[in-house]
Amino acid sequence: MNFARIFWLLMIAAPIMGLVGCFNSPPKGDESCKYKAPTAIFEGIDSFQNHSFEINGQEALEKVSLPRYKMDIELYQSGCDFLKQEYRFLLYEPYPANTPPEICAHQIAGIFLLLARDAPIQLGTMRQWAQAIKNAAVDFKYNEPIPLVGTDIEAQIDKVHQPESAILSIVFSQ
């Protein structure tokens, strides 16, 4: 196995562990689940505002505001035997309606890089997510899952336009 392949596998392994690591101990009565209940990942980050985290068994919704970037984030996490994380980036400004999926993927990767820069200790693995998204950018089509090379994770992007704002989303599933 050459160095480049080993490097790529290590680069992808960290975010996978981050996805799995977002789940803590199983709620009572749900010991049959392969994965543990989700935990908050944006909690305690000083530059983020209006943090909330709601959990219901194996499902959770986390919300945070980032006014400096003119955006809010909603993170939906779920999973018992299969994991799913959906990041919704609510942008406070219009987004071009005819934006191709590749450009949208690069924008989402850029958001992950901003988050990792703002909270390198808590969100540092988002750099690897950003790189994996950039590497797959040309393969994305809206609302269609694609495999991320070297992992057992699929990613799917989408965008929704509103009069003065937009929502970019990415779903990771394992």
The residue segments making up the domain with residue 76 are: 3-173
Show the DSSP H helices in 30-125 as ranges.
101-118, 120-123
At residue 120, the 3 state secondary structure works out as helix
Q: What is the pLDDT of residue 30?
A: 55
Angstrom distance (rounded) from CA 170 to CA 52: 20
pLDDT band at residue 1, thresholds of 50, 70 and 90?
very low
> Model's pTM, two decimal places?
0.81
Give the total number of structural domains in the chain.
Answer: 1
Exposed / middle / buried, residue 97 (Cβ in 10 Å: 0-12, 13-18, 19+):
exposed
Residue 133 has pLDDT above 90, yes or no: yes
DSSP character at residue 92: S
